[in-house]
Amino acid sequence: MYGFGVLKTLGIAFYHFVLTYVDDVKMGFGKRYTPEHLPERQGVNGRGIYTVRYPKEKLPLPERSRNHPFLVYIEETGKLKCTACGICAQACPVQCIWIERGKDPETGKPASFPAAFHIDQGLCIGCGMCAEFCPFDAIKMDMEYENSSYTRPGFVGIEELKKPESYHAKIHPTDYAREMEEKRLKEERKRKAAAAKAAKAKAAAAKKAAAAKKEQGEEPKG
Amino acid sequence: MRDVENLPEIPPELQGTVKLTTFDQLFAWARKRSLWPMLFGLACCAFEMIAAAASRYDIARFGMEIMRPSPRQADLLIVSGTVTKKMAPQVVRLYNQMPEPKYVIAMGACAISGGPFKEGYAVVSGVDKLIPVDVYIPGCPPRPEALIHAFLALHARFEHERIRDLKAYQKGVDDGIPIPSLGPDLVDWRRFEPLMEEAEPVKEAIHG
Amino acid sequence: MAEEAQVQESVQVKGMPQEVFQALSEHFPGEIKPARYEGALVPAGKIVEVIRFLRDEMGYCFLSNLTATDYYEVKGVEPHLDVVYHLFRMQGGYAALHVEIPRELEKAHLPSVTSLFPSAMLQEREVYDMFGIRFDGHPDLRRLLMWEGFDGYPLRKDWKEVYYEGETKPYKSRYPKGGHPIYAEELSPLKDNIRYPEGWAPQEWDYDEADRLLYERMLSAHRDPDKPLKTDEMIINFGPHHPSTHGVFRMAVRLDGETVRHLEPVFGYLHRNHEKIGERNTWIQNIPFTDRLDYINGMTNNWAYVIALEKMLGLEVPERAEYLRVIVGEFSRIVNHMLAAGFFSNELGLYFTGSLYALEEREHILDLFEELSGARMMFNYMRPGGVRYDLPEGWLEKAKALAYERIPSKVEQMQHFLLDNDVVKARTMGVGVLPPDVAMASGITGPVLRASGVAYDIRRAEPYSLYDQLDFDVAVREHGDAYDRLAIRFDEIWQSLRILRQVLENIPEGPIVAKKPSHRLKVPEGETYGRIEAPKGELGFYLVSLGKFNPYRYHIRSTSLLNLTALSDMTRGLKVADIVTVLGSIDLTMGEVDR
């Protein structure tokens, strides 16, 4: 009959309306809106009100989330990990990274640290190519998204961009673990190579000493 | 108008029933809760704006779910997406048609500075070359939470505005921003107004 | 004669099946030669006959791609403009045809093929806009993406934009002497992205030329000479800013009362110069730019570009990467079709209710994508030879829960919500009918074509990735009206869920990329046309490489632009309110139309 289709549609809408409050009634009013229940409410099996009440509730961002880049510095020495190789400036699709290579204060030759490092915040699209191609893990993507401003965003330099390595470890735990693993493997390989070299040198020295002793032993006879 | 600090003391028996405030504060309180954005989605950022209006990052909590397509009924112009030269006259025309008080948010890298397409020949490098902007949101596209954060920043601005300084209440006639035309390239008439008095064609001052 | 025939036989040609080249050489003796990289080189005067021969005798019923390249200052090549045509049959690869014409404006013209294939209407206008090539016999040769009166033809190699810094990226100023950075505005004397020609007088310019040409075309097209009574007609604009969520798109409509007599779409309000910027970028830097094409389903744009690159590089993709690509591609397809159905209900007047259901599911899928690739919309996930990231922990369980339980139940609800509704049926059945022969000749692809009864799906016609091993049906409907275009999207979602059930089970272990590409990738000389079945239709990339670090020509064959070719035919005779219905059922994204 004409009109049943519309009733069916209204029925589905009513079903959604009822679904909104079913869990409230089951769990007791108010218990669904606690921070502990937020992942359940936002998960695959959540039904009912799906809203995240920003700014009171903030969704935790996954690890690979990217917004704008930042430079990593080592806290003990205060130096940046960046060696001013320039690969990030070449890989950036919008060319928003400007690097000036530093000079060695005594010799005046180019050195591996950046004298100036600027990023145009109004231009960066947050693609992550700089972090992907950096061979020294010196530039990483931050996930801060609350950076609206009253003035036009412009160039930022090293002072605004640098953040400590502990911050990087906090927001990217698996990436940091991978970096530590690679560092450990590299050190292990170096240590093994040094040990092998030392053992080889020792063997050569022992052989030489044995040969010299043999000669000495033969001489008085001859 | 008295300032907030100089308001008289409320006697203790009336503390629960009387509240003293200034017109400015009342005005700001009302405006914060019913700012109507205009449904002006140009490109990809429009989808994050729509997602902000959807059920997960509900902006109806702030009274802003009424997204009017008509500029006559909107207070806030969210420029979400790249502004191209062909679209520039329409953006300015819509801005002129909005009633005062009006605000502009530039959402996304394209509206701030042209974004990834800045070097193109048909893109305006930033919407603030055409209309005045109040809040900028970097990102490509910015998350819906970042958009809501920008709304809160805009609300914070209302606290400092006084009614007597609002443009709508000043004397005089406001013709709006002159609408750009499409010549061999985009023509912004504010650049040419000082020269329009001269009858001669523009020569080497402006060729690139 | 026998020796000549033998010499012809031994000519190997790429980009066209060998027997087709044979047949062409026999039918047009002495005039067909192999082109520089792929396909056959045809003299300019013969192009219409050659295409007619291919269409009628050899069964090439789709003209997919029509574009041009400017060969200028290339070593060993005389400067010329090269127009290329890619034709397809119902099954198999393409036949490429090239025509070479001189660069000077007076001499750059060739016959138009719109009488054979209406899909050339918009593409020839775009070639005229970007290169200045005139097509003789085209019914309405106006600029498509830029406005009339714009100074110059932008995609020519000697036309430099205002913020021009260098022929290719990376620019030298960024490193190693980037110490004092400058904004790009400083490069222009006007401090803006604007340049006026010398001696131009602002007071004397005709600013209304673009609209005047448009309205002349509106008044003259499709006039009924036998109409006895002269009634008043008016031209109205469905302007670039309107409540529909499809973006900045303008239609000029000539109405007789409430009935549509002719409709002319106007493009270019979101023209962002992808192709010119693409020529400046390196090969890898283009991948984030492809994300911005069809921004609703981001993963499939990357895929099309990466497939074209892999064809040129000859790369093999590891098995695990193929599985990951199919998974994210099919999830993107589900998102796109749900949003299309939701926004279609928006057009019909269900102010936002349908879209809210679709947007909630989109949020769940975007959560998955954000865990996998790092962003909610611009994924930047695929690389030539594989994908960027591997699966994080717990991702597969969430994906399975979504694909096996949640999405099927929500899609079924939405299907009943929209398709069983009497009001939707009354408003969409019989509205905007698209006959199958018109659809095939107009270059329409994707669900719009399949709703008209043509069972053409690139996943079956020219399989790529894992699709030849997967078990799924091609969704087809017969009537070709707006209701079928809505219903077919749900059919395709069910097929996508079927595919996901197969791929989510046994993802093989292994590397996700054969060898990580360097940021300075060099691609050997050649050209190619790579395409995939994107959710909206056929998304193709035409790439020409001269063996350097960046493309020489980068052209995007856009799905939504060609799906709009038949819009005026579909809406003739309908009422004003039906225009919005038809437009919503085609499912556009302006980022793709205007690039």
- Enumerate the residues of chain B whose CB falls inside 8 A of the CB of residue A55: 148-149, 152
Closest chain B CA to residue C285: B116
For A103-154, give the DSSP string.
E-TTT-SEEEEEEEEEEETTT-----HHHHH-TTS-EEE-------BSS---
Q: Do C519 and A91 touch (CB under 8 A)?
A: yes
CA distance C331 to chain A (A): 15
| pLDDT score of A133 | 92
To test the contact with chain A by mutation, choose from C169, C174, C356 the residue with the greatest count of A C-beta atoms within 10 A, namely: C174
Spatial contact of C353 and C553, defined as CB atoms under 8 Å apart? no
Q: Which helix (H) or strand (E) holds C382?
A: strand C382-383
Q: What's the one-letter identity of residue A220? A: P
- d(C-alpha B119, C-alpha C171), whole Å: 13
- Residues of chain C numbered 326-365 and touching chain B (CB < 8 Å): 355-356, 359-360, 362-363
pLDDT-above-70 percentage for chain C? 97
To test the contact with chain A by mutation, choose from B44, B45, B48, B57 the residue with the greatest count of A C-beta atoms within 10 A, namely: B57
- d(C-alpha A7, C-alpha A25), whole Å: 27
Of C494, C452, C424, C478, which is closest to residue C586 (Cα–Cα)?
A: C452
- d(C-alpha C478, C-alpha C430), whole Å: 12
Q: Do A145 and B112 touch (CB under 8 A)?
A: no
pLDDT higher than 50, residue B1: no
Spatial contact of C359 and B54, defined as CB atoms under 8 Å apart? yes
Q: Which helix (H) or strand (E) holds C67?
A: strand C62-71
pLDDT-based confidence at C227, cuts 50/70/90? Answer: low
Phi, psi of C232 (to 5 degrees): -85, 135
For C202, the closest of B69, B123, B192 (CB atoms) is: B192
Q: Do A93 and B116 touch (CB under 8 A)?
A: yes
Q: Which residue has the higher pLDDT, C532 or B207?
A: C532
ipTM of the shown complex:
0.88
| pLDDT score of A29 | 74
Looking at residues C295-320, what average pLDDT do you find?
A: 90
pLDDT-above-90 percentage for chain C? 40
Spatial contact of C312 and C510, defined as CB atoms under 8 Å apart? no
**Peptide bond before residue B101 is cis, with ω within 30 degrees of 0:** yes
Establish if B47 touches chain C: CB-CB under 8 angstroms: yes
Establish if C221 touches chain B: CB-CB under 8 angstroms: no
Q: Do A58 and B145 touch (CB under 8 A)?
A: yes
Looking at residues C199-212, what average pLDDT do you find?
A: 80
- Enumerate the residues of chain A whose CB falls inside 8 A of the CB of residue B149: 54-55, 145-146, 148
- Enumerate the residues of chain B whose CB falls inside 8 A of the CB of residue A127: 140
The whole-angstrom distance between residue B109's C-alpha and the CA centroid of its chain comes to 16
| pLDDT score of A217 | 67
Q: List subunits contacting chain B, requiring 3 or more Cβ pairs under 8 Å.
A: A, C
Closest chain B CA to residue C190: B206
Q: Do C398 and A44 touch (CB under 8 A)?
A: yes
Establish if B49 touches chain A: CB-CB under 8 angstroms: no
- d(C-alpha C136, C-alpha C111), whole Å: 5
Tell me how far apart the terminal alpha carbons of chain B are, to the nearest angstrom: 53
For B55, the closest of A51, A58, A93 (CB atoms) is: A51
What's chain C's average pLDDT?
88
pLDDT-based confidence at C5, cuts 50/70/90? Answer: very low
For C207, the closest of B39, B143, B183 (CB atoms) is: B183
Looking at residues C312-330, what average pLDDT do you find?
A: 92
| pLDDT score of C75 | 87
| pLDDT score of C535 | 93
pLDDT digits (tens, 9 = 90+) for C88-145: 988 888 899 999 999 998 888 899 999 999 999 999 999 999 999 999 999 889 888 9
pLDDT higher than 60, residue C87: yes
- Enumerate the residues of chain A whose CB falls inside 8 A of the CB of residue C286: 93
| pLDDT score of C10 | 58
pLDDT higher than 80, residue B49: yes
- Among the residues of chain A, which ranges form H helices? 4-27, 38-42, 87-91, 129-133, 158-161, 165-171, 173-218
| pLDDT score of B133 | 93
pLDDT higher than 50, residue B71: yes
Closest chain C CA to residue A90: C170
Q: List subunits contacting chain C, requiring 3 or more Cβ pairs under 8 Å.
A: A, B
Establish if A67 touches chain B: CB-CB under 8 angstroms: yes
- The stretches in chain A having pLDDT less than 50 are 222
For B109, the closest of A52, A123, A149 (CB atoms) is: A123
The whole-angstrom distance between residue A153's C-alpha and the CA centroid of its chain comes to 24
pLDDT digits (tens, 9 = 90+) for B160-190: 777 777 777 778 777 788 888 888 888 888 8
Closest chain B CA to residue A60: B145
For A148, the closest of B114, B126, B136 (CB atoms) is: B136
pLDDT higher than 90, residue C336: yes
| pLDDT score of B2 | 46
- Enumerate the residues of chain C whose CB falls inside 8 A of the CB of residue A155: 181
Closest chain C CA to residue B117: C272
pLDDT higher than 60, residue C6: no
Looking at residues C452-471, what average pLDDT do you find?
A: 90
| pLDDT score of B208 | 32
For B119, the closest of C203, C277, C356 (CB atoms) is: C277
Establish if B90 touches chain C: CB-CB under 8 angstroms: yes
For B142, the closest of A123, A127, A145 (CB atoms) is: A145
Q: What's the one-letter identity of residue C492? A: E
pLDDT-based confidence at B206, cuts 50/70/90? Answer: very low
To test the contact with chain A by mutation, choose from C305, C381, C422, C521 the residue with the greatest count of A C-beta atoms within 10 A, namely: C422
- Enumerate the residues of chain A whose CB falls inside 8 A of the CB of residue B56: 50-52
Q: Do B138 and A68 touch (CB under 8 A)?
A: yes
How much is the pTM? 0.90
